[in-house]
Structure 1
Amino acid sequence: MLTRWSTTARAHGRTRGRGRRMRWARFRSAVTAVALATGLAALAPVPAPATAGEARQGRQVAYVANRLDNTVSAIDVATYATIATIPVGAAPNGLDASPGGTRVYVANQNAGTVSVIDTATNTVIATIPVGTSPADVAISFDGRRAYVSNTFSNDVSVIDTVTNTVIATVPIGIGSFDLVVSPCGTRVYASNAFTGNVSVIDTATNTVIATIPVGTTPSGIAISPRGTRVYVTNAASDDVSVIDTATNTVIDTIPVGDAPNAVVITPGGTRAYVGNSGSNTVSVIDTATNTVIATIPVGLGPVGMAVTPGGTRVFVADQSSDTVSVIDTATNTVIATLTAGNVPSDVAIATVP
C-alpha cells in the first residue's frame, strides 16, 4: 500500500500551504504503527484564534485524512475541537480545499476514487473514479480544475469541478505522487518518485512540456506565491531541490532531515517548512538564502502539512504517532498536539464561508 515515503518504516499558501507533503511514507514502509485514537481531540490547552485578522476571514477548518480509518476529520482551527468525522473511500491519502472553502477533494488511494466533501454539511456529495492509486489532489486557484496524481497508472487526472467529471488524463513519469498548480494556473508540477524527476504540465493543452531531474525519490512539492520557485522534497537523498520556473532547472539543493516528505511555503513566501518523516522533525528554510534556520521536533513520521491563510500556524500530520502537531511560525515551536485517527496522512485548511 502506498503511503508517504520514508527510509524508516505532501505550497505557498492557499489552504494546504500550496505544496505538500508526500504521504509517501505514505509510500513508506512506515505505515507500521497501529493507531490508538480515532477522532481529533486536543491534548493541549485550547488557545484563542491564531490572530484577529485570520478570525475575520471566516471559520478556518483543518481537514485531516485518516488513512486506515477511511475517514477525514474536520477540526476547528481556532478551538482545536473536532466538528465532524467524514467517511470517504479506502485509504485517503492526499487532499486539497477549494479557494472558496466550499469543497474538499480527497484522493482515496486504495479505491481509485476522489471524494468531494461539501464543507457546509461535512458530507460527501460526489465520488469520482480516477486512475490507479491516486495519491494527491491539487486545485487550481480559480477553483475550476482539480488535478489528481495516480501513482500506479503514471498519469494525472484532470477534473472539472463544476461537473465533477474527469475531462482529461495526462501521462507523466513513473510513480507520480504529489503535485501543485502555479498561481496563474498555467502549469502543474508533479513529482515522480520512481524516476527522480518533476513533470511540468501545460494546463491549456494538458501535455507535459518539461521534465526536470531532481533528487532521489521526489515526494512533496510546493510553489512560491509568485510562482517563481518550486520546492521539492527528495525522500531518499534527504534534501530539497529548488526549481526556477522560468528555466525549469534546479538552482539549489538544500540538505534537511531524514526522509523529507512534505513541504509548504508561507503566504508571504519567506519560509518553507519541510516535514522529515525519518527524523520526526520539521526543517524551516529561509527562502531568501535557501538555508535551514530552525529544526522543530514534532510527532512521529510527519508526512502532511498545511499552513493557515495568515501564515501564523502550520498543521503537521504525524503519521506514525497518530497526531497532528501545531507549529507557531513566530516562535517555530509546537504549541499543541492533537490526537488523530489511524495514520493521518495529510492536512488541508479551508476557510469555510
Structure 2
Amino acid sequence: MARNIQLFSTDTDDGTVSVIAKTGRGEHRRVETIRVGNAPRGGVKFTKDGRGFVCNTSQNTISELDAVALTEVRRIEVGHGPRGMAIVPGGRYLLVSNSGSNSVSVVDLELNVEIHQVPIGRDPRHMGITSDGRTAYVCVWGDGHVSKLDLTALTEGGDAAGITEVAQIDVDASAHPYSLAISPCGSRVFVANTQAPYVTVIDTATDRSQRVDVGFIGGRAIAFTPDGRHALVTVETVSRIYVIDVTSLVVTRHIPVGAGPRGLVVDAQDDTAYVTNFSRATVMSVTPDLDYDPNTLTVIDLGSAPLDRDEGTFVAEPVYVGFGPCSVTMFDLDTLPADERQRRASHIDA
C-alpha cells in the first residue's frame, strides 16, 4: 500500500523549506518549495494535527507551516537568533532556543504568541523534551553544558514563568554541544559536539555523563535506529555517520554520506535514514557509481549492511533539495484524522 510521507528539508541559503513526497521505499518526488524567513535553521517540528514550525534565525521569528496545504501560515516573534525548538507533548506549547538572546522562548500555540523567556546561558542551540513533557534538555553551545529544565509548572498548570533550570550538566567549555537526542527508553541523552571528537552521553537518572570517542570533531545531529539499539551521529568534518551501540557505548562502524552532513532523520517503517548534505562542494563516494552532489539528501537503506560490524556497503541514493540544507524531518499525513485531511483539502481547493 502506498504511503503518504512528506520529508521537509530546511534550506538555509535559499530561505525555503523543500518538501519531498515519499510513497514507498526509494520513491521520492519533490513537490513543493515553501518560502519562509531569512536563514531558516533546525528541523521543522510538527504537532499531531499537522502544524509545522521552523526557526528564521536572521529575522527573530518562527514560521508556521501547514503540512497539508504546504504553505506558510504565519510568523511568530521570539527572541534573537532562534536556532532550535521542541514541541511540548500535548501540542499546546513550543520551546524555542534563542542563540542571540541566551534564552528559551515559550510560545503558546493556541494564542500564537511568545508568553515567556527563560534565561539559559550563552548561545543555546538544539534541544529535546522527555516523552512525559516534564523535562527539557538544551545544548548551551557557548558555555559548554546541557541545561536541564523542569517543565512541570508549564505542563500541569500552564505557568510558563514557573519553568526552572534544575541542573547545568557539564560537557566541556571548548566542546560546544550542538544538538542532542533522548534515547527511546528515556534513560540517556546523547549529545553531539561540534568542537570535540566525542559524543557525550548523559544518564537521565543521575545527570552523570561519559564520553564516546568518534575520532573527529564536527558532531551535528543524532537519531536512533527503529529498534533503539544504535545511535547514529552525523560528523560534518569527515562526511560520515558514526554508529554507536546504545548498550555498550562502543562505535561499531561508520557510513559515508554526502559532504558536510548535518540533519538526520530515520523512517522507522522501512529503516531508511535521510541526511542533509550542507557543504557546497561535490564529494566522491566510496559507493560505486554514486557521487554525492551538494544540496541533496543522502538516502541510506540501513538494512542493506550490518550496523554492528564493519562489513558490507550500504545502499544509498541522492535526493535533490534547496541550497544549504541543514536539517530534515518527516511527517506522515496518514496520521491526521480523515476529517481533518478532508477539511484542509477542501480549503485548498476553494
TM-score by length of 1: 0.71
Contact 2:212 2:250 in 1 (8 A): no
Cα deviation, 1:134-176, whole Å, max 9, x if unaligned, reads 0111111221111100112110001111232211110014111
Contact 1:218 1:234 in 2 (8 A): yes
Distance 1:36 1:132, change over 3 A: closer
Distance 1:310 1:230, change over 3 A: farther
One-letter amino acid of the counterpart of residue 71, structure 1: T
Distance 1:276 1:44, change over 3 A: closer
Q: Which residue of 2 aligns with 1:343?
A: none
Please list, as runs of the form range in 1=range in 2, the aligned pairs for 1:1-353 lying within 5 A after superposition.
44=32, 58-163=48-153, 164-173=163-172, 174-268=175-269, 270-278=271-279, 279-289=294-304, 291-309=314-332
Residue identity over aligned pairs, in percent, reads: 31
Contact 1:104 1:117 in 2 (8 A): yes
Deviates more, 1:283-292 or 1:254-263: 283-292
SS in 2 for 1:72: strand
One-letter amino acid of the counterpart of residue 323, structure 2: L
Whole-Å separation in 1 of the counterparts to 2:48 and 2:221: 28
Q: Could you tell me how far 1:91 is from its partner in structure 2?
A: 0.7
Q: Could you tell me how far 1:131 is from its partner in structure 2?
A: 1.8
Contact 2:226 2:271 in 1 (8 A): no
SS in 2 for 1:142: coil
More helix by share: 2
Q: Could you tell me how far 1:247 is from its partner in structure 2?
A: 1.0
Q: Which residue of 2 aligns with 1:330?
A: none
TM-score by length of 2: 0.71
Whole-Å separation in 1 of the counterparts to 2:270 and 2:86: 19
SS in 2 for 1:59: coil
**How many residues are paired up?**
273
SS in 2 for 1:308: strand
Q: Could you tell me how far 1:240 is from its partner in structure 2?
A: 0.7
Give ranges in structure 1 of 5+ residues lacking alignment.
Answer: 1-15, 26-30, 38-42, 47-56, 313-353
Which is bigger in relative contact order (C-alpha 8 A, separation at least 6)?
1
Contact 2:193 2:217 in 1 (8 A): no
Structure 1 outlier segments of 4+, above 4 Å: 43-46, 309-312
Give ranges in structure 2 of 5+ residues lacking alignment.
Answer: 1-5, 17-30, 35-46, 154-162, 280-293, 306-313, 336-350
* The structure with more radius of gyration: 2
Contact 1:70 1:92 in 2 (8 A): yes
Whole-Å separation in 2 of the counterparts to 1:194 and 1:88: 28
